[in-house]
Amino acid sequence: MIESPRRGRARGLVLPLLSGALLGATFQPWGLAFFAFAAMAPFLVALHRIAEARERPIGAALRAAYRTGYAAGAGYFVLLGHWFVLLDAPQLPHRVVMLPLFALLVAYLALYPALFAVLVVLGARRTRIPFAFLAPPLWVATEWLRGSGPLGFPWGNVGYALAASGPLLQSAAWVGVNGLTLIVVGANAALAAAVTLRSRGRARAAAAAVVATAAIVVALHAAGAARLRAHPPAADPPTRVAIVQPNIPSSIKWDWEFKDRSVDAIARLLRRVPPGGVALSVWPETAIPAYLHDERGYFKIVKTLIAGTGAPALFGFPDTEVTPDERVYYNAAILVLPDGTEAGEYKKVRLVPFGEALPFQSIFPALRHVDFGEADFTPGTEYTQFEVPGIRFGVSICFEAIFPEMTRRLVNGGADVVVNITNDAWYGRSSSAWQHARMSVVRTVEDGVSLVRAANTGISLVADPYGRIVAESELFVETLLVVPLDPRRVQTFYARHGDWSLKLSLALSFLAVAGALAPIPFVARRGRRDS
């Protein structure tokens, strides 16, 4: 029986789909981080074969690459972000509606691996650059596109798969998370090249590629382990912090009739803080669901609680102010001293698209009047630096922690500690809360600073400048963590020199794509152009 071309194409997409799903599995709390070094290989093998099939016209090859990349992207983002369907909040649509919304989200995100696939096949067909050298920078470039602009969403960039491996994570001190992505994709590309070499009968070259790849990964792991041994945890840090995890369910978090419940939970936990025993207490994002600058009664209660601890408190709340044109709202964090002084405020700069604001409102003002149930916050513009005795710190709110350039900006502005406050109750018991926490820990290694993370329902934690978890909470348990904090800053190459691996990847990608599109014979492989 002759198989139809359409059916044959569909069957050929199964392996890339499974390859993407395996990559997504490395972001789950299942201990599969090492599989990231091989998960993409089947997908890349498929692309390599498309690029090598020179009897196929270039247009047909690019269409095949697009389908292959889209299938791999769909598998990747379905497993990575399956928690989207499980989001739990009364403001969100019913889960029957969430399923098609998730399908739309995956359909959008899968465009980026599809773009990568098209570019890598184009480059392999029309330049002299080997496939294994094209793939890593082009993947980093397309991930950068996914994380940029008003719709930017760098959740699950491939380098984050190594966040659960302390030794492998140490490389981030030099190369950042984008450099980790280069390493992971490079290993996968080398394995894909080995498969291609073996299929051509070059078994020794294939074995050499596999051995070299394994040796590099083992060497990076060994170097990271050595770095951790050379810098053991501080024996007796001079500072302690208290992290308040009130565990307020999302079903009542924004019900104004239950505001007192949030305050009561925080009050119970603060009563357990040893008087004078901490330098700072940290509460989660929107810990107090009240406009404190308007509702002075609530603010007075909060200040009384803080005075009882004898320590400053940093906490999240919704703020508002009146401009000449309108009243605007912010997702904010404020530092309040024991005497009631307001010692600084940070207004969230990077808002969650469609969750905290509709994108493109500055271009299409009519969107200001559209309501999909999202918050209507205005982004802040300043990266506030805070200081209490013994700690200089900057603040990120919620998913700002997964944007490396934001934390680096805080550190270069003088922060020795980064505080992240978040409300991950929306995620329920899915793997998303774990993913979010582990991605935020990558910032500690990149910038050489400790992290204090307070989450409404967990995971709250303290991590040292080498990414080691000093203490962390369980999900959905009312918790007070009183944890020693090492406020020393470790100088890192990444913090000093920035995201050089990203810049290098973008430059190489530009040159590769420009060379592939150049209409001159000498850029084409073997001195000819594909028709």
The tens digit of pLDDT for each residue in 51-87 reads 998 888 999 999 999 999 999 999 999 999 988 887 7
Q: Tokens for 63?
A: 């269409």
Cα end-to-end distance, the chain, whole Å: 33
Neighbours of 200 (CB within 10 A): 10
Q: Tokens for 111?
A: 């465009």
Residue 366 lies in a domain: no
- Residue 527 is predicted with a pLDDT of 42
State the catalytic residue, choosing from 143, 348, 356, 400.
Answer: 348
Residue 176 lies in a domain: yes
Is residue 348 annotated as part of the catalytic site, yes or no? yes
Say if residue 266 is preceded by a cis peptide, omega within 30 of 0. no
User: In the predicted model, what is the mean pLDDT of residues 479-498?
Assistant: 95
Residue 69 lies in a domain: yes
Residues 6+ away with beta carbon under 8 Å from 335 = 312, 313, 314, 342, 343, 344, 345, 386, 388
Residue 512 lies in a domain: yes
User: In the predicted model, what is the mean pLDDT of residues 94-108?
Assistant: 83
Q: What secondary structure letter does DSSP report for 40?
A: T
Q: Angle 41-52/111-126 helices, nearest 10 degrees? A: 40
Taking CA atoms, 517 is separated from 56, 129, 198, 514, 530, in Å, by: 18, 14, 31, 5, 11
Verify that 155 and 186 share a domain, yes or no.
yes
Question: 371-405: string of b/e by CB count within 10 Å (b at 16+)?
Answer: eeebeebbebeebbebebebbbbbbbbbbbbbbbe
At residue 28, φ and ψ (nearest 5 deg) are -95, 160
Verify that 139 and 266 share a domain, yes or no.
no
Q: Are 495 and 408 in contact (CB under 8 A)?
A: yes
* Helical (H) or strand (E) element with 458: none
Residue 370 lies in a domain: no
Is 80 exceeded by the pLDDT of residue 531?
no
Domains in the chain: how many in total? 2
Is 80 exceeded by the pLDDT of residue 517?
yes
Can you tell me the distance from the alpha carbon of 50 to that of 58, in angstroms, rounded to the nearest whole number? 10
What's the sign of the alpha-carbon dihedral 262, 263, 266, 267?
negative
Residue 307 lies in a domain: yes
Residue 520 lies in a domain: yes
Verify that 227 and 328 share a domain, yes or no.
no
Verify that 468 and 517 share a domain, yes or no.
no
Interval 249-296: pLDDT, tens: 887 777 767 778 889 999 999 999 988 899 999 999 999 999 999 988
Verify that 94 and 172 share a domain, yes or no.
yes
What's the sign of the alpha-carbon dihedral 411, 417, 418, 419?
negative
Verify that 99 and 203 share a domain, yes or no.
yes
DSSP reduced 3-state for 11: helix
Is 90 exceeded by the pLDDT of residue 89?
no
Q: Are 76 and 20 in contact (CB under 8 A)?
A: yes
Q: What is the CATH number of the domain that holds 413?
A: 3.60.110.10
Verify that 216 and 259 share a domain, yes or no.
no
Verify that 108 and 177 share a domain, yes or no.
yes
- Residue 523 is predicted with a pLDDT of 45
Interval 399-436: pLDDT, tens: 999 999 999 999 999 999 999 999 998 888 889 999 99
State the catalytic residue, choosing from 143, 253, 285, 345.
Answer: 285
Taking CA atoms, 522 is separated from 138, 370, 528, 530, in Å, by: 22, 53, 7, 12
Can you tell me the distance from the alpha carbon of 398 to that of 411, in angstroms, rounded to the nearest whole number? 18
Verify that 182 and 290 share a domain, yes or no.
no
Q: Are 151 and 478 in contact (CB under 8 A)?
A: no
State the catalytic residue, choosing from 143, 253, 356, 398.
Answer: 398
Q: Distance of alpha carbon 53 from its chain centroid, rounded? A: 36
Is 60 exceeded by the pLDDT of residue 13?
yes
Verify that 445 and 321 share a domain, yes or no.
yes
- Residue 10 is predicted with a pLDDT of 67
Interval 344-374: pLDDT, tens: 999 999 998 887 877 766 666 655 555 554 4
User: Own/partner pairs for 373-376, CB < 8 Å, 24+ apart?
Assistant: 373/91, 373/92, 373/93, 375/329, 375/331, 376/329
Q: Are 473 and 481 in contact (CB under 8 A)?
A: yes
Verify that 467 and 504 share a domain, yes or no.
no
Residue 361 lies in a domain: no
Is residue 259 annotated as part of the catalytic site, yes or no? no
Neighbours of 122 (CB within 10 A): 23
**For the chain, what is the mean pLDDT?**
90
- Residue 32 is predicted with a pLDDT of 92
Taking CA atoms, 41 is separated from 155, 183, 184, 200, 492, in Å, by: 21, 13, 10, 17, 32
Q: Tokens for 355?
A: 């969750």
Verify that 211 and 279 share a domain, yes or no.
no
At residue 491, φ and ψ (nearest 5 deg) are -70, 130
DSSP letters, 231-270, are: SPPPSS-SEEEEEEE----HHHHT-GGGHHHHHHHHHHHH
Domain span holding position 432: 239-347+377-489
Is residue 398 annotated as part of the catalytic site, yes or no? yes
Q: Tokens for 90?
A: 């009364």
